[in-house]
Structure formats: C-alpha cells, structure tokens
Amino acid sequence: MSSEKVISTEVNGLPPLTPEKSEGVSSSGRVDINILLNRARKVKEKETRTNLVFSGLILSLIFIVGIILSF
C-alpha cells in the first residue's frame, strides 16, 4: 500500500502562514496606489451611507414624535 501525505493550507479554519498574492501587491512587492485609493473610497462611501441612514432615522423619529405631540 502506498501512503500519501495530505498537506492542508488551512488548519482548523486558520489562514496559511505564508501570505498569498493579493490584488494590491505586484510580483515585485510594490503596492499599486490606485488599488489603495479605490479601497479608501469604498470605505468612505460606506461611512457616508451609514451616516445618511442614521440621519434619516433620527429625522423620521423627530417627525413622528412631533406628529404624536401635536394631537
């Protein structure tokens, strides 16, 4: 019988110890500034959207309380 060794890159759901190539790092180890800027823009858009949702909720709460108090 032959025995085969099974090598797993992830043990118990943990990431591998060696970093894999990501989209932001080129083969020479340099980081593309455009990818970093796009990532920062996405984070900023998400924060802006969250702030708008909370502002809308607060304004609607004030409006509803105003209607209730006017009766």
Helices (H), the chain: 33-70
Q: How far apart are CA 41 and CA 37, in angstroms?
A: 6
**pLDDT of 56 above 90:** yes
Calpha distance 66→71 (Å, rounded): 9
Q: What is the pLDDT of residue 68?
A: 95
pTM as predicted: 0.53
Mean pLDDT of 46-55: 98
pLDDT tens figures, 24-50: 666 678 899 999 999 999 999 999 999
Residues 55 and 43: beta-carbon distance below 8 Å: no
Contacts of 10 (CB under 8 A, 6+ apart): 16
